[in-house]
Structure formats: structure tokens, C-alpha cells
Amino acid sequence: MAQTANKLLDVLLWKGRKLGLSSDGKNHDLWRYLENEWFCSADEDDMLDLLHHQITSDLEKMVQGFHIENVDLTDKLLELPEVDGTTYGTSQGWHWICKLGQDVIERGQVLLMIYHLGHDNKHWVALVVNGESKQLVYGNSMDHKIPKEILIAYQEWFLRHSSAFTLEQLPIPKQVDLFMWPKHL
């Protein structure tokens, strides 16, 4: 499979830009998908763009109200406990998150996203907000619990649009290798 991918990559203009994706990376960045070096936010956002395209091309999923947000959403929500209600509802910087909360939490839609736990914990996790069942679903292949600050941020977001939510575990395979663990572990 890697040989086929290399042949396909050979026909690309290496200094050209990746088209149809949110990152402004160049084609030569695509080599990372063949290795273990694709864990950066821009590449994750590109993969979320591909998922978004796949969902939006499926009319049934579109009607059900699926949303896919880039990796920055959780970082922004981490600021939410410090933001007063007036600013949240009226500020341009919070408008998109307020509107997303109305769509997902109040109108019972579904939000899919991933999040990088940071430099001290070099690991990606999956998050799903199911507005219909009022659930936050968290998936961590290391089988660790959701960090307290993330839980508080999503709790605050739910409370601004509805009532409390339940936290569920996303059934996700456990990671048994140490490849992506921080070097100090």
C-alpha cells in the first residue's frame, strides 16, 4: 500500500498547496501520512475536513444534524468558565460557539471532534457531544479518564444551553504499544 501511495505522491507538484482542506500546507507534507509523523493539529483538521465532506455528502447524515469541528474548539471551551453570560451570548469571539451550542445541545444534534491533550501528554482523544441524549462521550485509547478541566468546560457549555449531561465512555480499542506515549513514561 505504501508503494502505491508513493507512486501517487510522485505525480503531485511538491511545491503546490493541498487543495480542498482547511490547512494551507503543501503537497510535500503528505509524506507524513505514510509515517508516524502525522500527529499535528493541521493534519488532524485535514482529516476532520475529509470526514466532514464524507458526512455532508450523505443526505441522511446531513438531515440528522452532524457537526464536525476542528481541534481548536476544546481549547476555546476551556476559556468558557471565565466568560460571563452576556459576553458569551453577544461577543463576536464567542458567537460561533454559542450558535454551535444552540444547534447541537438545544436542537439535539451531534458534534464530533478530536483533541490533543497537550505537550505533557502527547495523545489525541475523541469527543462526541450528543445533544439529543444530553451526553458527552469521551474516548481515550490509553483508558485514562477525561481531564477535570475538559469536563468542567463541557459542563459549563451544556449548562449555558440546557441542563446537565451524562458522561459516557466511547468504546475505543486500548492502545497497547508505547509508541505515542511521552518519552518520560
Of 44 and 172, the structure prediction assigns the larger pLDDT to 172
Residue 185 pLDDT > 50? no
Q: Which 3 state secondary structure label does DSSP give 168?
A: strand
pLDDT for 21 beyond 50 = yes
Per the CB < 8 A criterion, the answer to whether 141 and 84 are in contact is no
Average the pLDDT over 18-39 and give the result. Answer: 57
Q: What are the sequence ranges of the domains in the chain?
A: 1-38, 41-169
3-state DSSP assignment of residue 174 = coil
**Is the pLDDT at 13 greater than 60, yes or no?**
no
Output the CATH code of domain 41-169.
3.30.310.130
pLDDT exceeds cutoff 50 at 74: yes
**Region of poorest pLDDT, from 29-33, 63-67, 137-141:** 29-33
174: left (phi over 0), alpha (psi -120 to 50) or beta: beta
pLDDT of res. 73 = 92
Identify the pLDDT of residue 63: 55
Tell me the torsion sign for CA atoms 168, 144, 155, 105. Answer: negative
Give the three-class secondary structure for 60.
Answer: helix
pLDDT at 94: 94
- The mean per-residue pLDDT over the stretch 27-41 comes to 56
**Quick one: how far is CA 174 from the chain centroid?**
19
DSSP-assigned states of every residue in 79-146 = TGGGS-HHHHHH-HHHHHHHHHHIIIIITT-EEEEEEE--TTS--EEEEEEETTTTEEEEE-TT-PPP
Do residues 153 and 74 make contact, with C-beta atoms less than 8 angstroms apart?
yes
User: Helix, strand or coil for residue 169?
Assistant: strand
Highest-pLDDT range among 11-20, 63-72, 175-184: 63-72
Whether the pLDDT of residue 182 is over 80: the answer is no
Average pLDDT value over all residues in the chain:
77
Residue range 101-128, pLDDT digits in tens: 999 999 999 998 888 887 677 778 889 9
Q: Is the pLDDT of residue 39 over 70?
A: no
